[in-house]
Structures are given as structure tokens and as C-alpha cells.
Amino acid sequence: MWVHQDTWFHLGEFDVEKSLDYTLKKPGNGVYVFVIEGSFNVEGENLKKRDAIGIWETETINFTVQSESKVLLVEVPMRF
């Protein structure tokens, strides 16, 4: 698939509760977080299966895995 911009896709599967940090690859980018399975806390927001959130104007995003989970991160330019 061609996106024609600086975009990164990350798919993670987690089977234990843990905290993680994601550092954005490029200034001006943001991240869309899609919970495919399980539950996550992303920057204080609780997300469950099929939930999503967009986050921008930050350099690092904090995640807490709350249960066995699968999550997709899509980092894209978000200049307005």
C-alpha cells in the first residue's frame, strides 16, 4: 500500500499487564491507536476492543496494558 507520506504502522500483541512508552518518529506527527482485542489505557483514557483515539502535539505516548491485548498504532503527519 502506498501512503505517500512519512507513516509508520506498528502492531503489538501483549499477554501481561505492563506500561509502555511510544516515542514519535517525526516532529509534527500524531498517532492513531486502535484496540483490536483486549483493553489499554492510553494517556489516561481507557480503551477496549474496537475503541480508537488520536493523539498529537506530543513527543511520547504512555500506554498501560490492562489485559491480553492486540493494538495497532498508525503514526502520520498531523500538521494543521
pLDDT at 2: 72
- Whether pLDDT at 1 is above 70: no
pTM of the model: 0.88
Torsion angle (degrees, nearest 10) of CA 31, 32, 38, 41: 50
Q: Give the domain ranges of the chain.
A: 8-77
**Topology adopted by domain 8-77:** Jelly Rolls (2.60.120)
CB distance 66 to 38 below 8 Å = yes
pLDDT tens, residue by residue, 19-77: 999 999 999 999 999 999 999 999 999 999 999 999 999 999 999 999 999 999 999 99
